[in-house]
Amino acid sequence: SLSEIRFSDFLITIGDYAFNNCTGLASFWIEKAIPIAINSTVFNGVTISSIPLIVPYGSVATYQATSIWQDFSPIVQSTFNDGTVEYKLISLSEVKVLGGASGCPTGTLTIPETISDSGNTYTVTTIQREAFYNCSGISTLSLPNSLTFIDNYAFAYCSGITSVALGTGLENIGSSAFNGCSSLTSLTLPDSLTETDTGVFSDCTSLTSVTIGNGLNSINDFTFQNCTSLTSIIIPNSIESINTLAFYGCTDLASINFGSGVTTIENYAFASCTSLTAITIPDNVETIDSSAFRDCTSLSSIELGSGITTINSYAFRNCTNVSSVTANMITPTSITSSVFWAVDITTIPLTVPNGSLTAYQNATVWQNFNPINEQSTLSTN
């Protein structure tokens, strides 16, 4: 049942009958530029004339002229380029992008959906780690719908990129893939995207607009950290967790619209968002973790949803401009004084659910708000 064999450049010898009767063999990959001398018995019982042999760039002619190896068909090179971009075979039908063919490309970079070499056509599915790292001359980036994975730091510090089209098939973006793309102004994450690693768009300091697709269930650590021009964000209903430092230091962020799926806001998720003036935490949120809104110094209005069961230390530390708090939890959530550290809650009115006034007046920390009022009710005659 052996179908594929891959050998690195460290291979020294292949003994007789090594692959005797390996009749399921469908491809043979070898990274040695100079063919190893082998006997015909190595592939005894195997029809290698119908098996592709994948060899290093520039080695096809050498293998075609070497006994036994020349009997494989076809013989193709594992890497090639189109003059702008270099590619490497992942499989017999797919390639990944390695980077520029001769250093960093400039201007508009368009990665095609398919690419051909020596009569064979391959689908582009992956951008390799650090493929275009620090390529500051790229101005516009267009990625194909066939692309499913962008590896770590693939476009990090491409400071000239102003726009990116991610394609509709993208599933996974690696750590810091677009970190430091300081000229990028807008971004749309496709619904196909289901996973992002940490810091994918951190330090994109010109980013003003982000549309998040419905495929993600979390916004990972540091994802939009220090995106200092981002003014508003809509969290889709698919998002369940906003992770540590996800929007930390987004100093222009003035508006957050939380979706109905969010249950957890993790440590420092929106800390130091100094333009944020009001937040409404929906009823589905259960946990506001430590320092989640710390140092949001313009925050004046806080409304807490009815489902909150945990508010951890320093969640609203140094939110010194708060002038009103509404708590929709019927039973006061147990908190410590550190939640509102450096905030004088004795001068801040607290609005609580009807029938919960006494509970809040007797609850640690909550009882220090002044005044405490129940929500007004409307009656009709």
Taking only the tens place, the pLDDT of each residue in 23-77 is 999 999 999 999 999 999 999 999 999 999 999 999 999 999 999 999 999 999 9
> From CA 133, how far away is CA 346, in angstroms rounded?
52
Of the chain, the percentage scoring pLDDT greater than 70 comes to: 99
- pLDDT score at 361: 98
Q: What is the mean pLDDT of the chain?
A: 97
Q: Tens digit of pLDDT for each residue in 1-23? A: 899 999 999 999 999 999 999 99
The predicted model gives 72-93 an average pLDDT of 97
Q: Lowest-confidence range among 93-102, 154-163, 291-300, 368-377?
A: 368-377
The predicted model gives 212-221 an average pLDDT of 98
The predicted model gives 300-328 an average pLDDT of 99
> From CA 235, how far away is CA 123, in angstroms rounded?
33
- pLDDT score at 121: 98
Phi then psi for residue 63, to 5 deg, are -70, -35
- pLDDT score at 91: 97
- pLDDT score at 31: 97
- pLDDT score at 213: 98
pLDDT band at 378, cuts 50/70/90? very low
pLDDT band at 379, cuts 50/70/90? very low
The predicted model gives 222-240 an average pLDDT of 99
- pLDDT score at 263: 99
The Cα diameter of the chain in Å comes to 100
The predicted model gives 131-151 an average pLDDT of 99
Place of tokens 């690195």: 8
What's the whole-model pTM score? Answer: 0.94
- pLDDT score at 381: 33
The predicted model gives 121-131 an average pLDDT of 99
- pLDDT score at 377: 53
Reply yes or no on whether the pLDDT at 233 is more than 60. Answer: yes
Q: Tens digit of pLDDT for each residue in 187-208? A: 999 999 999 999 999 999 999 9
